[in-house]
Structure 1
Amino acid sequence: MITMQKLGIGAVQFIVAIFSGYCFYTSSKGLYRPWHSYTLLSLLTLNILLSISIMELVAGATYWGLALPFWYYSLFGLKKGFIFSAVVILLSAVVILIRTDTNIFMPFRTVFNFTLVYCSIWLVCHIYEVQNQKTSKFLRSLALQDGLTDLQNRHALKADFRAFHNSFDCLHMLIIDIDHFKNINDKYGHDIGDSVLINVANVLKECVQGKEIYRLGGEEFVVLYIDISDMEAYTKAEEIRIAIEKSVFYSHKEDIKLTVSIGVSSLHPDHEFADFLRAADQKLYQAKHEGRNKVCS
Structure 2
Amino acid sequence: MDGSGLDLTNKIRSKVLASLSFALLIAAISFAIFNIVYHQAYAFAALELIFAAFSFDVFWNNSRKNNYSVNKLYFYLLFLAFLIVFGTYSFPLIDALFVWAFSFPIISYLLLGKRLAFRVSLFVFISIGLILFYKLTFLREFDIEPVMINFLFCYTCIWTVSHYYELSRASAHDSLIKLAHSDSLTKTNNRLAFSEGFNDHQGEYLLLLDLDHFKSINDTYGHDIGDLVLVSVANCFKTLIDESQVFRIGGEEFCIWLGTSDLEGALEHSEKIRRSVAQQSIECDEQKISITVSGGLAQHQPQMLQSELLKMADNRLYCAKSHGRNLIVHKDEMEVSNLVLVN
Query: Could you say whether these structures have the same fold, taking a TM-score greater than 0.5 normalized by the shorter chain as the test?
Result: yes
Q: CA deviation digits over 1:30-77, x for unaligned, max 9?
A: 552223312220221112112212232222211111000112112221
Counterpart residue number, 1:292? 325
Residue 99 of structure 1: SS of its match in structure 2?
A: helix
- The whole-number CA distance in structure 2 between the counterparts of 1:285 and 1:9 is 74
| Pairs aligned (count) | 292
Q: Which moves more between the two structures, 133-142 or 101-110?
A: 101-110
Query: The residue matched to 2:315 in structure 1 has which SS?
Result: helix
In the superposition, the TM-score normalised over structure 2's length comes to 0.79
Q: Which residue of 2 aligns with 1:189?
A: 222
Does 2:200 match 1:163? yes
Q: What 5-or-longer segments of structure 2 have no aligned partner?
A: 1-36, 331-343
TM superposition shift of 1:198: 0.3
The question of 1:134 aligning with 2:167 is answered no
Equivalent residue, structure 2, for 1:32 = 68
Moved more, 287-296 or 191-200: 287-296
Q: Report the Cα offset of residue 164 of structure 1.
A: 3.2
Contact 1:12 1:43 survives alignment (8 Å) = no
RMSD: 2.1
Larger displacement relative to structure 2 (282-291 or 259-268): 282-291
The 10-residue stretch of structure 1 (256-265 or 226-235) with the greater mean CA deviation from structure 2: 226-235
Check whether the contact 2:185–2:227 (CA below 8 A) recurs between aligned residues. yes
Question: Residue in 1 aligned with 2:57?
Answer: 22
The whole-number CA distance in structure 2 between the counterparts of 1:198 and 1:264 is 22
Q: Distance in 2 between matches of 1:243 and 1:263?
A: 17
Query: 1:106, 1:61 → 2: CA distance?
Result: 17
What aligned pairs does 1:209-228 form with structure 2 within 5 A after superposition? 209=242, 211-228=244-261
What is the rounded CA distance, in whole Å, between the counterparts of 2:50 and 2:283 in structure 1? 71
Q: Does 1:59 align with 2:95?
A: yes
Question: 1:280 aligns to what?
Answer: 313
AA in 2 matched with 1:57:
L
CA contact 2:93–2:141 (8 Å) conserved in 1? no
Work out the CA distance in 2 between the residues paired with 1:117 and 1:249: 62
Q: Trace 1:85-104 onto structure 2 (pairs within 5 A).
A: 85-99=121-135, 102-103=139-140
Which deviates more from structure 2 when the two are superposed, residues 217-226 or residues 272-281?
272-281
Query: Residue 230 and residue 201 in structure 1: after superposition, are their counterparts in 2 closer, same or farther (change >3 A)?
Result: same
Deviation track 1:72-128 (CA, whole Å, cap 9, x = no partner) reads 112221122222211211111122233389426534542332121111100100110
Once residues 226 and 48 of structure 2 are traced to their aligned partners in structure 1, the CA distance between those partners, rounded to angstroms, is: 66
d(CA) in 2 for partners of 1:217, 1:207: 21
Matching of residue 146 in structure 1 with residue 188 in structure 2:
no
Q: Which amino acid is the alignment partner of residue 117 of structure 1? A: C
State whether residues 267 and 276 of structure 1, in contact with CA within 8 Å, keep that contact through their aligned partners in structure 2.
yes
Q: Which residue is equivalent to 2:231?
A: 198
Amino acid corresponding to residue 58 of structure 2 in structure 1: C
Task: Report the AA paired with residue 123 of structure 2.
Answer: V
Cα distance in 1 for residues equivalent to 2:160 and 2:67: 33
The whole-number CA distance in structure 2 between the counterparts of 1:11 and 1:120 is: 34
Match of 2:45 in 1: 10
The 3-state SS of whatever aligns with 1:125 is helix
Q: Which residue of 1 aligns with 2:23?
A: none
What SS is found at the alignment partner of 2:143?
A: helix
Is 1:245 the counterpart of 2:245? The answer is: no
Q: CA deviation at 1:142?
A: 0.3
2:251 partner amino acid: G
* CA distances 1:227-249 after superposition (whole Å, capped 9, x unpaired): 34112211221222222122111
**Residue 272 of structure 1, CA deviation:** 2.7
Any idea what SS the aligned residue of 2:258 has?
strand
| 8 A contact 2:113–2:166 mirrored in 1 | yes
Segment drifting more, 266-275 vs 65-74: 266-275
Q: Secondary structure at the match of 1:85?
A: helix
Q: Secondary structure at the match of 2:184?
A: coil
Provide the C-alpha distance between the structure 2 equivalents of 1:282 and 1:269, rounded to a whole number of angstroms.
20
2:117 counterpart of 1:84? no
User: CA–CA distance in 2 between the matches of 1:272 and 1:226?
Assistant: 18
SS of residue paired to 1:66? helix
Q: Tell me, which stretches of 5 or more residues in structure 1 are unaligned?
A: none
1:119 to 128, 138, 156: 156
Q: Deviations over 1:200-250 (max 9, x none)?
A: 111112232563111111101111012341122112212222221221112
Partner amino acid for 1:196? V
C-alpha distance in 1, partners of 2:142/2:99? Answer: 19
In 1, the alpha carbon distance for the partners of 2:141 and 2:101 equals: 22
Q: Which amino acid aligns with 1:15?
A: I
- Offset, 1:278: 2.1
Deviations 1:131-155 (CA, angstroms, capped at 9, x unpaired): 1121112111101111111111112
